[in-house]
Amino acid sequence: MSKIETEVLIIGAGVLGAATARELSRYKVDVTLVEKEVDVGWGITKANVGVVCQGRDTLEFRPEYHRTKLLWKALPLMEPLCKELDVPFKRVGAYLMIRNLARKDKLDKLAKRTESLGLGTDTYLPYSELKKREPFISRDIKGGLYDHAIAVVHPVCLTQALAENAVQNGVNLMLETEVEEIQTGDSYFSVRTNQGEIKTRYIINAAGEWVDKIAAMVNADDFVLFPIKGYVGVLDRDCSELAKSLLAILPEEPGDMNIVVPTVEGNLLFGIQLQINRRHDHSTTEHMARKALENVRKIIPEISEKDIINSFCGYLMFRNFEIGWHECEVAMSSRVSRFVNMTIGYPGVSASPGAALEVVEILRNDGLRLDPNPKFNPYRKGIPDFSVLSEKERKALIKKDPKFGHLVCRCEMVTEGEITEAIKRGATTLDGVKFRVRPGTGRCQGGFCGPRVTRILARELGIPETEVTKAGKGSAVVPLRTKQLLEEGN
């Protein structure tokens, strides 16, 4: 087992860890980013709907809250960041709607607050106007507030891009490296992982769902988290026209989160059905699925069970009640020096650029020397997306590399060229490829392309197909060869 020394160790390559790593890579400082999974962004970040929240949809974004400050710090940064990293960022706009006119005063209050905070103006539209813009909404809707600024990103793509760019600029990324134990020394921590020991001066704890457990390893858990499970459903491509913008209903009961979100790729997600649950259970339940469907039909009645092609669950890590539901924790531990906790229940993706800046400030204030990295390059080129290219671009691409002329996934129109490129960028599993270039996310959910992607992975990684996994150790796709069982039975 190896022994590594580093100045800053970031635990967890979710959107927060990756954003921080990338921000730190602007400086001449030794950064190691460890992730227990075989790929980045597979924690809470994966179970996300990708909204770049503006903090004006609920009064809970009180200006004095830390998470509100981080979010507002982040908002102007998100679009340029996506440009630098060449990941899609789409302003889709949002309608926050009501089904009962008695609730209009709530919307008025929100609109007024938005203006008084200087965040822009949101206009109220009656049903007749909404219907013109979003023809599929339910008749029960009375009106809604339009927020033009709402945008969507792909959280996993963003995280991959952040990590890729960080590595490009010198960050040491260690996958399948799980932090198991931390010992506090006088001027350093000694961190035991399944891949060996890491000696580090600073720790940034961005372990998402496990952030409190990691903090507890060194007694730095000066906060309590309440994990709330959230369910999200994915609709078939055929339903894409049902909503052009984000459609939400102003919560009718506390904890209600009833939204339809167009993704950057154009299909729709819906949810978020919330439920208090024990952690590490990521299963979807019949109950949540039914409730979520019932709810979304309050927005668009046309959606039915057969339109749902997938669903997933993730945890929203909310802070304890005294500080308020939605507060976050991005701070140096008050009990342990050089140990920074970093967790945002919601909206961690939107706030990530702000949170990363904040962590850099925390380190600087603690005396970490941060000289600019002269070799820092903020740009990263994305993988070409064949499905959205023009005819001319497609022709040029195939000419350059004929692999782009070989379509592997029929539903999402993904080419072999894109898949091999994804593997070059670090995808080592079916899911890794899927989260980079989308094969298997369409209607057939990998039925057609699964065997083909498996074969390409084996070829590019130089491993037998029996060793290709869906999502890392213990998840082999096809662990056996035909006839093997017959031989063993002999």
Ligand X SMILES: Cc1cc2nc3c(=O)[nH]c(=O)nc-3n(C[C@H](O)[C@H](O)[C@H](O)COP(=O)(O)OP(=O)(O)OC[C@H]3O[C@@H](n4cnc5c(N)ncnc54)[C@H](O)[C@@H]3O)c2cc1C
> Which residues are at the interface with other proteins (CB under 8 A)?
234, 236, 282-286, 288-289, 305-306, 308-312, 391, 394-395, 398-399, 402-403, 405-407, 410-411, 413, 443-448, 450-451, 455, 465-466, 469-490
* Shortest distance in whole angstroms from residue 48 CB to ligand X: 4
Pairing of strands 31-34, 172-174: parallel
The entry of ligand X, other proteins, none that residue 448 binds, CB within 5 to 8 Å by partner kind: other proteins
Residues β-bridged to residue 200: 6, 189
Q: Which amino acid is at 137?
A: I
Q: Are 212 and 224 in contact (CB under 8 A)?
A: yes
Cβ 259 to ligand X, closest distance in Å? 8
Q: Which one of 35, 221, 416, 431 is in contact with ligand X (CB under 6 A)?
A: 35
- Side-chain-side CA neighbours of 44 within 13 Å: the count stands at 26
Which residue lies nearer to ligand X by CB, 47 or 110? 47
Q: Which residues pair with 191 in a beta bridge?
A: 182, 198
Residue 275 host element (H or E): strand 268-276
Q: Which is nearer to other proteins, 184 or 284 (CB)?
A: 284
Q: Which is nearer to ligand X, 294 or 302 (CB)?
A: 294
Question: Closer CB to ligand X, residue 44 or residue 218?
Answer: 44
Q: Kindly state whether residue 347 participates in binding ligand X, applying the rule CB under 6 A.
A: yes
* Cα–Cα distance measured from residue 270 to residue 123, given in angstroms and rounded to the nearest whole number: 24
> How many residues appear in the chain?
490
Partner whose binding site includes residue 14, from ligand X, other proteins, none (CB under 5 to 8 Å by kind):
ligand X
Find the binder of ligand X among 202, 315, 386, 435 (CB under 6 A).
315
Helices (H), 97-256: 104-116, 127-133, 155-168, 211-217
Alpha-carbon distance of 202 to 190, in angstroms, equals 10
Residue 437: strand, helix, or coil:
helix
Contact yes or no for 421/386 (Cβ under 8 A): no
Show the tokens assigned to 32: 């190691």
Residue 205 or 311 having the CB closest to other proteins: 311
318 binds ligand X (CB under 6 A): no
Q: Does 37 bind ligand X (CB under 6 A)?
A: yes
Q: Which is nearer to ligand X, 143 or 442 (CB)?
A: 442
- Restricting to residues 145-184, name those near ligand X by CB under 6 A: 178-179
Site for ligand X in 177-236 (CB under 6 A): 178-179, 206-210, 214, 230, 232
Q: How far is the CB of 196 from other proteins (least distance, A)?
A: 23
Burial class, 362, CB count within 10 angstroms (exposed 0-12 / middle 13-18 / buried 19+): middle
> Interface with ligand X includes 34 (CB under 6 A)?
yes
Regarding 97 and contact with ligand X (CB under 6 A), the answer is: no
**Which one of ligand X, other proteins, none is in contact with 475 (Cβ closer than 5 to 8 A by kind)?**
other proteins
- In the numeric block, which tokens belong to residue 91? 């302003």
Q: How far is the CB of 133 from other proteins (least distance, A)?
A: 25
Based on CB atoms, which residue is closest to ligand X, 94 or 143?
94
- Amino acid 239 reads C
Judged by beta carbon, residue 19 or residue 477, the one nearer other proteins is 477
Q: Comparing C-alpha atoms, which of 390, 382, 296 is closest to residue 88? A: 382
Question: Whole-number minimum distance, CB 451 to other proteins, in Å?
Answer: 6
Cis geometry, peptide bond prior to residue 398 (ω within 30 degrees of 0): no
Examine residue 53 and tell whether it contacts ligand X (CB under 6 A). Answer: yes
